[in-house]
Structure 1
Amino acid sequence: MARHPDRREIVSVEIVADADTVWAHVREPAKIRRWFGWHDDGIDDEIRRMFVTDARVMESDELASRGGPVRSLIWKGGDVLTVWPSTTPRGAHSVLTMSRRPYESFDVFSGLYDDVDERWIASAQQLRFALELHPGAERRTLRAAGLDAGPPGRRLLDRVGLHGIRGVPVGCHFETRRPDGTLLGGTIWHRTEYQVGIRLHGANEPLLIIDHNPTPLRASNGRVTAVLSTFGTDDETFAAIGQHWARWWGLRAPAKTPDAASPRDHERLRRVLHRTHADVLV
């Protein structure tokens, strides 16, 4: 159900949580942190500016007969985030939609890939994931941004062992082996033209979202950005995940370079990270 027919609906998700809970997660900064974007030094200021300072609240009793009001956050640029209740035989659910101005209202058409659209899609899925699988848990994130997608025959996702996710339907399981020999398994959480979300098995079931911007940039073949959302991880576990993440994506590790990893480091990873029946190490 489109709440704003004069705008482009970017994403609509049904969330297994009541509307008051979902609304609180788009109004309270500490809860917004559990799903919006990714964490960097400016995330708290960005959340306060976007959701507290800049957003205008609108409420309608249009759907009061269905269990509650329709509530929206509206921004000056025309973006509208809307939450309303959706009572089903399975219990109280909610629907969250994000809509934006149509491209015709912009002076310049930004092309097929829109960074803001993709960020809202990912954030909405991260909210659904946080509320349905990790309610109340604090989130910590890792990000590998703007990586060269690679030429035909040498695609980055193939090189890091993610070729197995192609064509896997939403809700279905996949398993693949990464270049370092570790197994990776998960369930496809969502899929759009430019991104895929994976509910990874092991290590408290984090969410991995991979975004592929096919627009060439200088000599690149498009760009890949990966964001990992972990929940309820302590410092030791998160540090170990960070070391493994850096080696996987070929990044500089927070404390050591990938080449400096010792057998003791690998043993530490295996000690603090959970493993599934498929021996999946996240």
Structure 2
Amino acid sequence: MSMDKPFRVEVTVDAPRDAVWRALTEPEQVRHWFGWEYDGLEAEIKLIFEDHATLRPPDRIEMPEDGLIELVEAGEDRTLIRVTKPGDLDALEWKDVYGDIEEGWITFLNQLRHRLAFAPDGARRTITRSGKARMVELPGTEWHASRYQRGFADGAELAVLGVKPSGDGMLIVTLYDPSEEQYAAAETRADALWAQAST
């Protein structure tokens, strides 16, 4: 049922609309902000952003399975990204329902916002941890917050912790162009963060 939940997710990024359009429509760019590194990522990007997407340049991507993406110019070199899944957003039946797709878009658009702010041409690497968890504060500056997730940035490193009502949680740490030593240090930090959050 949660996959059908209607939603509207909006994130404003510090980049012009044409740069955001490329980030959303060029698979090589999508792989540096969407989701996290795993064996099926390329196939997932192809399914969502190519096979099930109709591009309406310069500002609309129709995605029948996941909704509509719209880009709205929001000032000089700023763009509002809006992702919507149609339906009655105020319906009582959805009031306390966790939305898998909605929460995914909150995470992914904030990962895109972070990439455009810190490393628009960088190669992404991610670290993930998952299991039973609780919400905790992470080090760094709060990047975003919703009912079920928190993002904290420490410069070009972004950590997002999401916890479902079931208690299932996931930590995603994003870095750009790290050396092996930097990546290893980030893994150590991720393990410490996950130790705090895991139950």
Give TM-score, length-normalised by structure 2: 0.83
Task: Give the residue type in structure 1 aligned to 2:176.
Answer: F
Question: 1:110 & 1:45 partners in 2: Cα distance?
Answer: 33
Structure 1 position 126, deviation (Å) = 0.6
Aligned to 2:161: 210
What's the counterpart of residue 148 of structure 1?
A: 132
Corresponding residue SS for 2:114: helix
TM-score (normalizing by structure 1): 0.60
**Cα shift readout 1:81-121 (whole Å, capped 9, x = no counterpart):** 1113222xxx32111011013269xxx96961111110111
Cα distance, 1:144 vs. partner?
Answer: 1.1
Residue 154 of structure 2 corresponds to 200
Identity %: 26
Q: Which runs of 5+ in 1 are unaligned?
A: 1-6, 60-68, 150-155, 166-183, 216-221, 251-282
* Compared CA separation, residues 99 and 34, structure 1 to 2 (3 A): same
- Kindly name which structure, 1 or 2, has the bigger radius of gyration based on alpha carbons: 1
**Match of 1:11?**
9
Which amino acid is the alignment partner of residue 165 of structure 2? P
**Structure 2 contact 144–151 (Cα < 8 Å) conserved:** yes
Q: 1:224 aligns with which of 169, 173, 178?
A: 169
- The whole-number CA distance in structure 2 between the counterparts of 1:207 and 1:193 is 18
More helix by share: 2
**Which whole-Å CA distance do the structure 2 matches of 1:142 and 1:20 have between them?**
29
- Which structure 2 segments of 5+ residues have no match? none
Q: Which residue of 1 aligns with 2:45?
A: 47
Aligned partner letter, 1:21: A
- Please report how far the alpha carbon of residue 208 of structure 1 lies from its aligned counterpart in structure 2 after TM superposition: 0.6
| Cα distance in 2 between the residues matched to 1:14 and 1:225 | 24
- The residue that corresponds to 1:265 in the other structure is none
Is 2:73 the partner of 1:85? Answer: yes
Residues matched between the structures, number:
188
Cα pair 2:139 2:154 within 8 Å, conserved: yes
- 1:135 equivalent to 2:120? Answer yes
Residue type of the partner of 1:209?
V
Instruction: Give the corresponding residue for 1:188.
Output: 142
1:29 maps onto 2:17 in alignment: no
- How far apart in 2 are the matches of 1:82 and 1:26? 11
